[in-house]
Structure 1
Amino acid sequence: MRFTEHELTVALTGAAKTVVAANRKVRKGGKDIDTVWNEMDRHQRYKVLDALGDQILPVLVALPDVEVEPGTRPSYTNSQVTETITGLVGDELGKLRRAVVIKARTSLVQTALASVPPRLDPDALINASGEPT
């Protein structure tokens, strides 16, 4: 499946919000993650997105192609995601560190995939006169 730029951006942002929400200060503050995200300045958001982009985007691009029906999200099994990540991680890490990286990235990528908006029907984007809306 080829993700659009918008889908990749939304996926990365969803994963970033989850990472920020896991921060102890954010959890103890009791604020909604969207409020916390909006209160962050652009540089703070950039740092989080940049750190996660190197981990998530290559995996999303390397995932196998699947058919996605309009109105649904792309879904992959943990084994498909893990297999893709395993191929990308390489062998330079130690056995334990490699296992931890694969498990953590699998979780991040699944979170990102859950944030992807449902696929739109391309035929619904054309109005009655045959022109794109």
Structure 2
Amino acid sequence: MRLTEHELTVALTGTAKTFLGSGRKFRKGGADIDQVWDETDRFQRFKLLDSIGTQIFPVLTDLPDVDVPVGGRPSFPEEQIREVVERHVGDVGRLRRAVTVKARVALVQTALSNLPPRAEGDLRLND
């Protein structure tokens, strides 16, 4: 799937914030995730973004191109995302593979939900 640099950045950052906010510390404390994100030092943010990016970028770029109307977001069925994720999971044991696939599918779905709506002039197939 073709995405702009801005779309990838927003999707990655949104996924990282969602992941960070799902931690026990934030769920029970009720802290504002944007404030926590801003207070996180740059190296910690880099490590989190790098870890998530290496898992979702290969999958996002391997998803098929779809024509997305202005104001819309690309969407894919879970089965299609799972197939692409399974192609990118290395040679691991059966149990580890199942857990890895499930976790990466969830990360990719989170990234897709964080994509900003397409703006006029963004990448489209009919250009």
- TM above 0.5, one fold? yes
Q: In terms of Rg, which structure is larger?
A: 1
* Percent identical residues: 60
1:30 and 1:45 mapped to 2: Cα distance?
20
Q: Provide the alpha-carbon RMSD of the alignment.
A: 1.3
Pairwise mapping of residues 25-44 of structure 1 onto structure 2 (< 5 A)? 25-44=25-44
Once the two structures are overlaid, the 10-residue window that deviates more, 109-118 or 29-38, is 29-38
Give the letter aligned to residue 53 of structure 1.
G
Residue 3 of structure 1: aligned partner:
3
1:48-68 deviation digits (Å, cap 9, x = unpaired): 101111101111111111110
Which consecutive residues of structure 1, in runs of 5 or more, have no partner in the other structure? 124-133
Pairwise mapping of residues 1-133 of structure 1 onto structure 2 (< 5 A)? 1-90=1-90, 92-122=91-121
Number of corresponding residues: 122
Q: TM-score, normalised by structure 2?
A: 0.91
Structure 1 runs of 4+ aligned residues shifted over 3 Å read none
1:86 and 1:53 mapped to 2: Cα distance?
17
Residue 126 of structure 1: aligned partner:
none
2:18 and 2:55 mapped to 1: Cα distance?
14
Which consecutive residues of structure 2, in runs of 5 or more, have no partner in the other structure? 123-127
Q: TM-score, normalised by structure 1?
A: 0.87
1:110 and 1:5 mapped to 2: Cα distance?
18
1:17-75 deviation digits (Å, cap 9, x = unpaired): 11101112222221111111111111111111011111011111111111101100111
